[in-house]
Structure 1
Amino acid sequence: MGARTTIHDVARAAGVSVSTVSKAVNGRYGIADATVQRVLDAVKALGYESSLVASSMRARRTGVIGVLLADFEPFSAEILKGVGTAVHDTAFDLLAYSGSHLGAGDGWERRSLSRLSGTLIDAAILVTPTVVSAGTEIPVVAIDPHTGRADLPTVESDSFGGALAATTHLIGLGHRRIGFLAGRPDLRSAGLRDAGYRRALADAGIGLDPSLIGIGRYELDATRESARVMLSATDRPTAIFAANDLSAIAVIDVAHELGLRVPADLSVIGFDDVPEATRRALPLTTIQQPMRRLGAVAAEMVFTLLSGQAIDEMNVILPTRLVVRATTAPPSR
């Protein structure tokens, strides 16, 4: 049996580019009728009818929703579960695609969309995208975009309110020296968690101490280093709020390495409520954001767009809630 025919084979046979093949089989504007016919003739001659491209030629749909993300980590894994649940009882399949390997920095989403839109997917959900202008003809919804609201429909959690609740919880227990392990400076949700922390201190009349703020960037090594510096100080904090759960878990590990007991000597609270938060010997107190619901709402918005209807609310913010477990307690000193 010969090699399977690809879109590149069709492009060569028709004497056009791959993007022209995509546009021709998907009925896009800007392609001459003669060129479209030449592409369709090549599709037929090469026996390409069973491919996703040929299926889209007949139905103008691939029947696939794409979820584009920078990496497969706990947050995006929960998002995928939510999208999967929403897609389960529909006629659509789900494609999870990590395109950050196409080049570091901003814009990996656009490169991924240019590869996938029209030929493999009918619509896309972008998870924590660096750009908020898709530049594509297919419906696109963004979850937790770096820069916040945009010209795309977006879904995010109430990061400010969650951080306010986390810090207020620690203050209510009697803590006054409260550290904060910040997330990625380029991510708007991380900035909102920083702002919520600061607001809670201000509302309680507690002065901001810059030495109690470390930058973890959601990276293990950076988080551990910041936590070690903070917890090795003579006037160390009695509590730390970390901008995500994995950072909070890293803080607990560093505290144990330094001989500190959690929560007797140090209270720790995270943000997300990923599955790892409950798998530790000490279940983590955290701010639960509805990660699966984020994915489900984004999928529902995509379905609305695919049906040709307008979305009622372009920028959806879902509530967060405090979940108290075993890693927070009143200070012992």
Structure 2
Amino acid sequence: MVSEVTNSRVTIRDVAARAGVSVATVSKVLNNRYGVAAATVARVREVIAELGFESSLVARSLRNHRTNVIGVLVWAIEPFSAELLKGAERAMRDNDYELVVYSAGGVGPRDLGWENRYLSRLSGTLIDGAVLVTPTVSAPRSDVPVVAVDPHTAGEDGPTVGADNFRGARMATEHLLSLGHRRIGFLGRPPRDLKSSQEREDGYRSALAAAGVAFDPGLVRAAGYQEDVSRQAVHELLSQPDRPTAIFAANDLSALVAMDEATTLGIRVPDDLSVIGFDHVPESMMADPPLTTIEQPIQLLGRRAVEMLVEILAGNEPAETHVRLPTRLVERASCAAPPKVVRPVTGSSASGSVQV
């Protein structure tokens, strides 16, 4: 009589005992090898389903040198990466791979080379290939194929997927200029070693130059995906005696923080201050007022990166190894013509430390 399987992890021996066959036979079934009768194969697979058996990724890797798992490596799960993961997950429906997401949780500063540490932990035993989101190095050290999304400034050595950041940033700045703004603040996205960061600032500067507006470094601040850093940057911009009448933020999170900090300072959006973002995350349309932004197809970025990686893992040469997707302006209610008179800051945090 076969003993009942306990609630502990089901092993290959449990499957063999329940099916009344040898461990070697179960192994052959798992690996689709010849030499097992069709009825036995059916019985073993029935028991596998009944017991909920699943071999570990490490064991699978040792047997086949493949895990059929793709890793998506991110520094933090924030609005941009969350949307990108939706697209990556959608791409998995069209292939036999599984998806694992690895994140440091955004703890501490975004340090140089974080992706190398992650890849060394995962490659070779847990994943067959990786999608790196906003890597800090141009050529990550890896034993598995890698596709970079929003690559390093020098990231043209390997396959990459990104958006037309320069054109998007220029469109954002041109939109504010067309409304009559001339003092336009810019919230950049550190680190500048990200290609998108450099391209968005270049697009901002290009639009100003084309309109004959001198670039003012005093209107530029480093922000990012950390709310406290963005809030401090916005506070500095809006506390200037000759503060900007508009802000272009290089990501939607910074733009939303800018709107919130403006309200805290008694500055009305868009009556006193126009704000435009970049990304088009779902939170942008739920803001009050809804945020004007530059849409980059974030989910499509994730999907195209996974599709490219699957092609590489299949031994094929992708049709494109450097994909650049278009951006577009999404007009909502956070932008208007500049005020005729710039009102002084009246909020409670107009002086002293910023409250976050």
Report the Cα distance in structure 2 between the residues aligned to 1:148 and 1:76, rounded to whole angstroms.
21
Which region of structure 1 is more displaced relative to structure 2, 305-314 or 197-206? 305-314
**Residue 50 in 1 paired to residue 55 in 2?**
yes
**Shift in Å at residue 89 of structure 1?**
3.0
TM-score w.r.t. length of structure 2: 0.77
Q: Aligned residue for 2:132?
A: 126
Give the number of equivalent residue pairs: 292
Give the Cα separation in 2 of the matches to 1:140 and 1:116.
Answer: 12
CA distance in 1, matches of 2:166, 2:54: 51
Identify the range of structure 1 (220-229 vs 187-196) with the bigger mean alpha-carbon deviation.
Answer: 220-229
Report the counterpart of residue 291 of structure 1 in structure 2. Answer: 298
Q: Given that residues 149 and 315 in structure 1 are in contact (C-alpha distance below 8 angstroms), is that contact kept between their aligned partners in structure 2? A: no
Select 1:74's aligned residue among 79, 100, 119: 79
Which segments of 5 or more consecutive residues in structure 1 lack a partner in the other structure? 7-47
Q: In the alignment, which residue of structure 2 is the partner of 1:90?
A: 95
Q: Give the Cα–Cα distance (whole angstroms) in 2 for the partners of residues 229 and 49 of structure 1.
A: 55
* TM-score of the pair, normalised by structure 1: 0.82
Residue from 333, 339, 343 that aligns with 1:332: 339
- Please say if residues 184 and 244 of structure 2, whose CA atoms lie closer than 8 Å, have aligned partners that are also in contact: yes
Q: Closer, same or farther in 2 for the Cα pair 1:134/1:212, shift >3 Å?
A: closer
Q: Does 1:257 align with 2:264?
A: yes
Partner residue in 2 for 1:189: 196
Equivalent residues in 2 for 1:101-180, closer than 5 Å: 105-180=111-186
Aligned-partner SS, 1:115:
helix
* Contact 1:82–1:296 under 8 Å retained in 2: yes
SS in 1 for 2:186: strand
**3-state SS in 2 of match to 1:126:** strand
Q: How far, CA to CA, are the matches of 1:326 and 1:143 in structure 2? A: 30
Deviations 1:126-162 (A, max 9, x none): 1111123233232110111233433220111111111
1:276 to 283, 287, 291: 283
1:236 counterpart = 2:243: yes
**Number of the residue aligned with 1:10:** none
1:104 to 1:211, Cα distance in 2 relative to 1, 3 A = closer
Which residue, out of 274, 279, 303, partners 2:310?
A: 303
Which structure would you say has the larger Rg?
2
Q: What is the root-mean-square deviation of aligned Cα atoms in Å?
A: 2.4
Alpha carbons of structure 1 residues 49 and 73: separation in structure 2 relative to 1, 3 Å = closer
C-alpha separation in 2, matches of 1:57 and 1:230: 56
Could you say if the C-alpha distance between residues 233 and 133 of structure 1 is closer, same or farther in structure 2, counting changes exceeding 3 Å?
closer
